[in-house]
Structure 1
Amino acid sequence: MCTLHRTCHLRRERLQNGRSKEHRLMMGQPDIQREPVKTSIQESEAFLPQHVLEERYKMQSKPLGICLIIDCIGNDTDILQETFTSLGYEVKRFLHLTVENIMHILGQVAHMPQHQDYDSFVCILVSRGGSQSVFGVDQTHSGVPLDHIRRMFMADACPSLSGKPKVFFIQNYVTSEGQLEDSSFLEVDRPSVKSAEFKVRQPGACMIHREADFFWSLCKADVSLLERSSPSPSLYLKCLSQKLGKERKHSLLELHIELNSKVYDWNSRVSAKERYCVWLQHTLRKKLILSCK
């Protein structure tokens, strides 16, 4: 074959190959010589909005914060003191306080300058009380509204804890007198929605809401549990201590769900007077793990 014919033949082959390749692409058939595009998980995460990636509260200070224990019963908080000390908290424990003393201690702790150097705050309160108040060791006092206690640690009243988790575990042994007492007392000095919104929208004000970063776990039980010949510690506080001691790397919300399951199982086997009612309200903005270890 002459050089001219050989050149023409090669051109026809190239043209046919090009057309056949184009035909395969048009028909949706893959080009076997084409390398796949590789994407990594890290690269794809870079395009996600920041709020999609889970954030955690910083828990690195030593100590992690103050753990205030106010026990007006006397048989519930020994193990909790050990638990929170092992978690890295500075525990301050007070026993058998009157209502006046409860308010005095809470006020002192809320204004402690150390909060600005710590990453969190925990309060454990055990007392007889009404449906939404505690009596301390007073038998005739109207009690301290739990809502008032929470307001003492909000961002406007306690700015050194603004943006930091404030955790409350409350075991309230409710009396029959307390059920009647609470119906009218709770509405006193309750903050309005308008005033709360105004604080957020003020020019130059911190954008963290005054009620943000709270974890409020309230357990109610009948006071008759304390009137037995050998009263046992609170099931709620016992389970809480066990969960925090053995599963401290889990988030607090996860642990509380498991605690609720334990309480539910207990309630299904006992009489109405022996049951515990657990109520959780939280305004956490991030994942919370109560340990720096």
Structure 2
Amino acid sequence: MEFSRQLYAISEALDRAELAALKFLSLEHVPVRKQEAIEEPKAFFQVLLEKGMIEAGDLAFLRELLYRINRMDLLAAQLGSSREAMERELQIPGRARVSQFRYLLFQLSENITKEEMKCFKFLLGKELPKCKLSPETTMLDVFIEMEKKGILGEDNLTVLKTLCEKIDKSLLKKIEEYELNLFGEEEMLVTEGQRSSTEVTEVASLPLCLEAYKMTSRPRGVCLILNNHNFAKARKAVPELKKMNDRNGTDVDAAALSKVFGTLHFIIKEYKDLTAEEIRKIVNIYRCQDHNDKDCFVCCVLSHGKKGVIYGVDGQEVRIQELTTSFTGQNCHSLAGKPKVFFVQACQGDARQKGVTIETDSGEQDSSLEADARFQLECIPSEADFLLGMATLQDYVSYRSSSQGSWYIQSLCQHLENSCPRGEDILTILTAVNQEVSRKIDKQNAAKQMPQPSFTLRKKLIFPVN
């Protein structure tokens, strides 16, 4: 009863503009589509309850929202907190649920006058639909439309900075401060020219205090598993692929991936034995999904391949770059600024990697080791926030046991399971995977395997278990 009374009292005290602000600040958790029907604070709180963002005994997110919109009276009277307490709380790493990007846009909207807003709408006349630039449209509405059009995002502030420079340079300064603080370069906030060249060099050499990607949503996102096992169609349809074996052991890999990413709060979506066209259709489905209330996207590809492509079970090819670039900010707006992670179990060539020194691993290796056709790197988009984990170096084979799964995927899953609870970031984990896999040996061919990650991540990527 006390919980319901608190929510009721707060909802009665909020006006329409404040409700709009709360909805905007919550866009990473409640997508626009879900917000459209919300016209009063009670309905908004009900959605937060359904999403698990607030509950009796845990009103941290509601406290943060009230703090962000400067309703300190409600924060104190209804939730027993204060400005000072919230400032201390939000300094704790991982505690803030409202993204810095979203809060920046809200602060800008609060500082934009009516005349300046008219200027924004005028300058955006060719970019946004006329119906979205009516007198009733607020600055928050304009920001939302800019995001929909792909001209505004956490790592895409160029258009906004250009507009602010023309309209009000004080707004531009806020954006520049946000960009600098984002990477922890607090020393670089000093105006250019106030330092000697020596001082600038010293500041540039300081290590960055890297921020971590937001990873608090439940679920975190989708883990898509494309698992191709039976290649009978390929052998029948394409004569030159008649020696392409079924990928025995791949289901062991898929099960391990499902288990570990399920534990990490991802929605597991596995698809088996897909043709090339089916792979494209599945990828397009998830490209078109609304990921606004998710923090990450993971795709695991288990298949045969050759240079730059993977095979469908019909022997037809799909370019790996076609899969990864489907999820760039331009092609999937709701994943802009969020980490996109791809793990690929496949060979990158026919060569077998020789070790300088051959050592015997403890225990017997499974004698039924197989290679996963050929594959090639150069598939990661140049855009930020991508990670591509490859099973092996370019030109070399990777190994898969028909009973125990592949060396790479099994090691990856084991290290994720052991290291994520300790808060280790993904690049540290992949380095450990490199070390473990490189120690294994294909005794029959005296050959080894070395995985290779490639990335354009801007922040630490950590998968919390809790």
TM-score tier by shorter-chain length is 0.5 to 0.7
Aligned length: 219
The answer to whether structure 1 residue 281 and structure 2 residue 281 are counterparts is: no
Q: Within the alignment, does 1:69 sit opposite 2:225 as a pair?
A: yes
- Aligned residue for 2:389, secondary structure, equals strand
Separation of aligned partners in 2, 1:270 and 1:233: 17
Tell me what 2:243 maps to.
Answer: none
The letter for the 2-side match of 1:124 is: C
Aligned to 2:324: 150
> Take 1:160 and 1:118, find their aligned partners in 2: how far apart are those partners?
9
8 Å contact from structure 2 (residues 223, 269) kept in 1: yes
Which residues of structure 1 form unaligned runs of 5+? Answer: 1-44, 192-208
Runs of 4+ aligned structure 1 residues displaced above 6 Å come to: 175-178
**Any conservation in 2 of the 1:155–1:210 contact (CA below 8 Å)?**
no
**Residues 145 and 271 of structure 1, relative CA distance in 2, 3 Å threshold:** farther
> Distance between the aligned counterparts of 1:219 and 1:281, measured in 2?
11
1:177-201 per-residue CA deviation (whole Å, 9 max, x = no partner) reads: 965xx89xx99xx99xxxxxxxxxx
Cα distance in 2 for partners of 1:174, 1:47 equals: 43
Is 1:128 matched up with 2:265?
A: no
The change in CA–CA distance for 1:107 and 1:256 in structure 2 (over 3 A counts) is same
Q: Secondary structure at the match of 1:109?
A: helix
Distance 1:107 1:284, change over 3 A: same
Q: Measure the CA separation in 1 of the matches of 2:320 and 2:301.
A: 10
Q: Equivalent of 2:429, from 249, 255, 270?
A: 255
* Change over 3 Å in CA distance of 1:47–1:222 after alignment to 2: closer
**Structure 1 residue 277: Cα displacement:** 4.1
Q: How does 1:162-201 map to 2 (within 5 A)?
A: 162-173=336-347
Q: Distance in 1 between matches of 2:185 and 2:339?
A: 28
Larger Rg: 1
Correspondence 1:171-250 to 2 at 5 A: 171-173=345-347, 211-220=383-392, 222=397, 230-248=402-420, 249-250=423-424
Contact 1:69 1:91 (C-alpha < 8 Å) held by counterparts: yes
> What is the SS of the residue equivalent to 1:266?
coil
Q: Is the 8 A contact 1:70 1:125 kept in 2?
A: yes
Q: Describe the SS at the equivalent of 1:286.
A: coil
User: Which of the pair has the greater relative contact order for Cα pairs under 8 Å at 6+ separation?
Assistant: 1
Residues 67, 92 of structure 1: 8 Å contact kept: yes
Report the RMSD for the aligned CA atoms in angstroms.
Answer: 3.1
Partner of 1:95: 272
Post-superposition CA distance 1:54-112 (Å, at most 9, x none):
21100000100111011102422101101100011011111111111111100101111
Cα pair distance change 1:277/1:146, threshold 3 Å: farther
- Pairwise CA distance, 1:278: 1.8
Distance between the aligned counterparts of 2:433 and 2:225, measured in 1? 20
TM-score normalized with structure 1 length: 0.66
Contact 1:154 1:210 in 2 (8 A): no
Shift of 1:231: 4.6
Relative to total residues, which structure has the larger strand share, 1 or 2?
Answer: 1
Aligned to 2:293: 117
SS in 1 for 2:405: coil
Contact between 2:185 and 2:208, CA under 8 Å: does it hold in 1?
Answer: no
Cα gap change, 1:288 to 1:47, in 2 (>3 Å): closer
- Structure 1 residue 131 displacement after superposition: 2.8
Shift of 1:274: 5.7
Deviation (angstroms), 1:154: 0.8
Q: In the alignment, residue 223 of structure 2 is paired with which amino acid?
A: C
SS of residue paired to 2:260: helix
Deviation readout 1:243-275 (Å, 9 max, x if unpaired): 1111102100000000000111114x6455864
Q: Distance in 2 between matches of 1:98 and 1:273?
A: 34
CA contact (8 A) 1:54 1:287 kept: yes
Q: Answer yes or no: is the 8 Å Cα contact 2:276–2:311 preserved in 1.
A: yes
1:150 CA displacement: 1.0
Partner Cα distance (1:46, 1:168) in 2: 30
**What is the match of residue 78 of structure 1?**
255
On the 8 A contact 2:434/2:452 being kept in 1, the answer is no
Distance 2:306 2:186 in 1: 51
Task: Please state how far the C-alpha of 1:210 moved relative to its aligned partner.
Answer: 6.9
Q: Among residues 99, 102, 107, which one is paired with 2:284 in the alignment? A: 107
Identify the residue that residue 290 of structure 1 maps to in structure 2. 463
With normalisation by structure 2, the TM-score equals 0.43
- Conservation of the 8 A alpha-carbon contact between 1:124 and 1:170: yes
- Paired with 1:276 and 1:243, the residues of 2 have a C-alpha distance of 17
